């Protein structure tokens, strides 16, 4: 395939404009963040030098007005980005969920009724619930086992790096890797998929693993667990190392065995970290899209809410139904976020 710079020049120019705009905006913000505090510091230093030279007391700072302006200066960009990137799209999506596929006419709650009356969409919701129930539970358990076994072991840093490595891979990349694991070829051909190769080596017949429901959903869940277990291990390992040595030593003096140490000392001590891990993985699982999209494209009863939302809005042109799925997904996330906020408040008060 030949690449013609003349034909592609408009795209290249647009790309150049985008890069320049990015550098200007980010560079300008960094310059402001560096220059403004430095300007205030130099002004204060000049006041101190002038006061010392004249032998007069340093003028008292009017803290609240000046600090208020200073705080407003730094908060304004963040608030603007929050409004533009979150609030406005959320309001618009909610409005679209009450309109038809072309976003022309109001249809009331018809799109939400469609969510719970179509068998295909009910299957999507059930799949999403299975993901949310299994991925946080299994990933946290495996991460905790990793953290306990690797803690203070030889080559601990190397082991943690290898376990955490899947987190550095994108969901799409991880899905492609696991598609090779599940790959299928005819019985007369050599199997390139690891799973089918093992099955054939044991005398079995190769299977098209990603075509068999509900097994295919469980196999996709394995990919997410493989990715998130490293995250759980890192957080929980840090929490285990933060347990006061006095508590561990007192438990050993009381004669507890390793099993009792884990259940009566380690687990209660790392409970806040466990909650953070479960909540974080739960939110990530609710939004899962890349794994399903890359592995099966949502076919064979493997679709989830995020994938179906994309299909309805961008493939089928049903903006109202896609927006209803987006609002439904947002509503599912809200209780988890509220629980996390309440938990953090209790920890601060405690």
Neighbours of 42 (CB within 10 A): 10
The pLDDT of residue 59: 57
6-60: per-residue pLDDT in tens? 666 777 788 888 888 888 888 887 787 777 777 777 777 777 777 777 766 655 5
| Residue 245 pLDDT class (50, 70, 90 cuts) | confident
Neighbours of 68 (CB within 10 A): 10
Q: How far apart are CA 325 and CA 193, in angstroms?
A: 35
Give domain 118-347's CATH number out of 3.40.50.2300, 1.10.3720.10, 3.40.640.10, 3.30.70.3270: 1.10.3720.10
- Residue pointed to by tokens 């179906």: 308
327-339: per-residue pLDDT in tens? 999 888 888 888 8
| Residue 124 pLDDT class (50, 70, 90 cuts) | very high
Report the half-sphere exposure of 74 (CA within 13 A, side-chain side): 11
Q: How far apart are CA 124 and CA 303, in angstroms?
A: 5
Single out the residue of 179, 186, 163 nearest to residue 222, CA to CA: 179
| Residue 131 pLDDT class (50, 70, 90 cuts) | very high
Strand, helix or coil for residue 108: coil
Kindly write down the DSSP assignment for every residue of 275-344, as one continuous string.
HHHHHHHHHHHHT--HHHHHHTTTTTTT--HHHHHHIIIIIS--HHHHHHHHHHHHHHHHHHHHHHHHHH
145-178: per-residue pLDDT in tens? 988 888 777 787 888 888 888 888 889 999 999 9
Q: What is the CA radius of gyration of the chain?
A: 28
Single out the residue of 154, 144, 171 nearest to residue 230, CA to CA: 144
């Amino acid at each position: 395939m030949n690449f013609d710079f003349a034909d592609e020049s408009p795209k290249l120019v647009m790309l150049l404009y985008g890069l320049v705009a990015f550098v200007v905006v980010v560079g300008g913000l960094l310059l402001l963040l560096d220059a403004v505090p430095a300007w205030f510091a130099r002004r204060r230093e000049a006041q101190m030098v002038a006061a010392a030279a004249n032998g007069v007391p340093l003028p008292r700072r009017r803290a609240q007005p000046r600090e208020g302006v200073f705080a407003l200066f730094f908060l304004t960009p963040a608030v603007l980005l929050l409004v533009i990137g979150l609030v406005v799209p959320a309001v618009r999506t909610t409005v679209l969920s009450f309109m038809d596929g072309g976003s022309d006419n109001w249809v009331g709650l018809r799109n939400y009724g469609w969510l719970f009356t179509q068998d295909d969409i009910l299957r999507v919701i059930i799949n999403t619930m299975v993901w949310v129930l299994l991925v946080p539970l299994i990933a946290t358990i495996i991460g905790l086992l990793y953290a306990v076994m690797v803690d203070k072991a030889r080559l601990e840093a190397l082991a943690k790096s290898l376990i955490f490595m899947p987190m550095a891979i994108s969901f799409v990349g991880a899905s492609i890797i696991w598609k090779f694991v599940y790959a299928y070829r005819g019985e007369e051909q050599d199997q390139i998929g690891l799973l089918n190769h093992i099955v054939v080596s044991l005398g079995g017949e190769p299977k098209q693993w990603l075509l068999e429901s509900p097994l295919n959903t469980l196999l996709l869940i394995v990919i997410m667990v493989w990715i998130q277990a490293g995250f759980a291990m890192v957080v929980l390992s840090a929490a285990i190392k933060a347990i006061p040595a006095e508590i561990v030593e007192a438990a050993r003096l009381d004669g507890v065995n390793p099993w009792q140490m884990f259940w009566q000392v380690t687990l209660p001590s790392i409970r806040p970290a466990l909650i953070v891990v479960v909540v974080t993985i739960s939110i990530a699982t609710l939004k899962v899209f890349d794994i399903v999209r890359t592995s099966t494209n949502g076919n064979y009863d493997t679709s989830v809410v995020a994938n179906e939302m994309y299909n309805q809005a961008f493939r089928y042109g049903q903006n109202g139904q896609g927006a209803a799925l987006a609002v439904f997904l947002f509503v599912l996330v809200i209780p988890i976020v509220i629980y996390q906020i309440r938990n953090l408040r209790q920890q601060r008060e405690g």
